[in-house]
């Protein structure tokens, strides 16, 4: 199915599918969709394991909003900074934002699992409001909107290669999958099993922050992808990270490809950004999970 979706993605477009169009535009776009989808879905799985909550992913805990704040900050402080400097700053801010979320959750007596993502959404809202304030007062709103809207229409050869870095991070996540599974059982269990829980947590959060930063810098934010895919895979193969991670990557790539194709066909020859399509589908799935977990009131 993933190969079929990739073939469809290569064939859909307004321009005639010449070799030049395929090599310059459609092939890079398809590859970037596959890489970004796989990496963001894997990040969602890692966060759910490390936070021990089914409702979290980078767009529901303030990670992507913090990455956007980092991009605005580096643009204001060093407008001519190279792309790698922007990515590094966004990754640093994303790491701090994720750490802040974990600190807030630990300080608050949270008993209901559905409250954890709500805390993350509120934290992300505060960070996003401050970022918008800075962008508005410095005439960067259009630039900020381009960063925070997942859109692959501008992907061309020479403008997406940074996404290959997230492929390497996915490989690192797979190599450490067993440690993430053990860490997901709690700090006490991890320590008894001989695992340095804090080190594994740091590695996992670093992967999530770097992937979020690279994707935001390159194509923008794709919300709820890391929420939908790991929950679907977990229902099929269980909570073992090594067994589920390949399926998470494949399903994440396929879902982003499907959303992008749908966005290109709904208003053909115009496009709806993939972030908008995924946001609608992911929000509906998020509400479904919340309503399914909510306690009944007689």
pLDDT digits (tens, 9 = 90+) for 205-229: 889 989 988 998 888 889 889 889 9
Q: pLDDT class for 112, splitting at 50, 70, 90?
A: low
What b-and-e string marks burial along 65-104, b requiring 16 or more CB atoms within 10 Å of the CB? bbbbbbbbbbbeeeeeeeeeebbbbbbbbbbbbbbbbeeb
Superfamily grouping for domain 2-7+27-291: ABC transporter involved in vitamin B12 uptake, BtuC (1.10.3470.10)
So where are the chain's domains? Answer: 2-7+27-291
What b-and-e string marks burial along 117-131, b requiring 16 or more CB atoms within 10 Å of the CB? bebbbebbeebbeeb
Averaged pLDDT score across all residues of the chain: 86
**pTM for this prediction:** 0.89
Write the DSSP string, 112-169: STTHHHHHHHHHHHHHHHHHHHHHHHTT-HHHHHHHHS---TT--TTSSGGGHHHHHH
**What percent of the chain stands above pLDDT 70?**
96
Q: What is the pLDDT of residue 240?
A: 78
Answer yes or no: is pLDDT of 138 > 60: yes
280, exposed or middle or buried, with CB in 10 Å at 0-12, 13-18, 19+? middle
Mean pLDDT in residue range 35-44: 93
Q: pLDDT class for 295, splitting at 50, 70, 90?
A: very low
């Amino acid at each position: 199915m993933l190969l079929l979706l990739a073939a469809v993605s290569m064939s859909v477009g307004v321009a005639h599918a010449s070799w030049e169009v395929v090599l310059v535009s459609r092939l890079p776009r398809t590859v970037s969709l596959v890489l970004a989808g796989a990496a963001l879905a894997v990040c969602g799985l890692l966060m759910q394991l490390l936070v021990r909550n089914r409702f979290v992913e980078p767009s529901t805990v303030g990670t992507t909003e913090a990455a956007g704040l980092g991009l605005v900050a580096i643009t204001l402080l060093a407008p001519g900074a190279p792309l790698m400097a922007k990515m590094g700053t966004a990754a640093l801010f994303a790491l701090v934002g994720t750490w802040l979320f974990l600190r807030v959750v630990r300080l608050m007596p949270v008993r209901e699992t559905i409250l954890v993502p709500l805390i993350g959404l509120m934290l992300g809202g505060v960070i996003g409001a401050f970022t918008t304030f800075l962008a508005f007062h410095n005439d960067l709103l259009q630039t900020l909107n381009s960063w925070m809207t997942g859109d692959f229409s501008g992907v061309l050869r020479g403008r997406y290669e940074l996404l290959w870095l997230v492929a390497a991070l996915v490989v690192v996540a797979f190599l450490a999958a067993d440690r993430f599974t053990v860490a997901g059982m709690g700090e006490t269990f991890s320590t008894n099993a001989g695992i340095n829980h804090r080190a594994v947590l740091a590695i996992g959060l670093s992967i999530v922050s770097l992937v979020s930063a690279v994707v935001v810098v390159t194509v923008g934010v794709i919300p709820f992808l890391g929420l939908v895919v790991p929950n679907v895979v977990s229902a099929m193969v269980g909570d073992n990270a090594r067994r589920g991670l390949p399926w998470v990557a494949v399903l994440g790539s396929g879902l982003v490809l499907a959303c992008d194709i749908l966005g290109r066909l709904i208003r053909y020859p115009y496009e709806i950004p993939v972030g908008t399509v995924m946001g609608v589908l992911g929000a509906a799935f998020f509400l479904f999970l919340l309503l399914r977990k909510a306690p009944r009131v007689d």
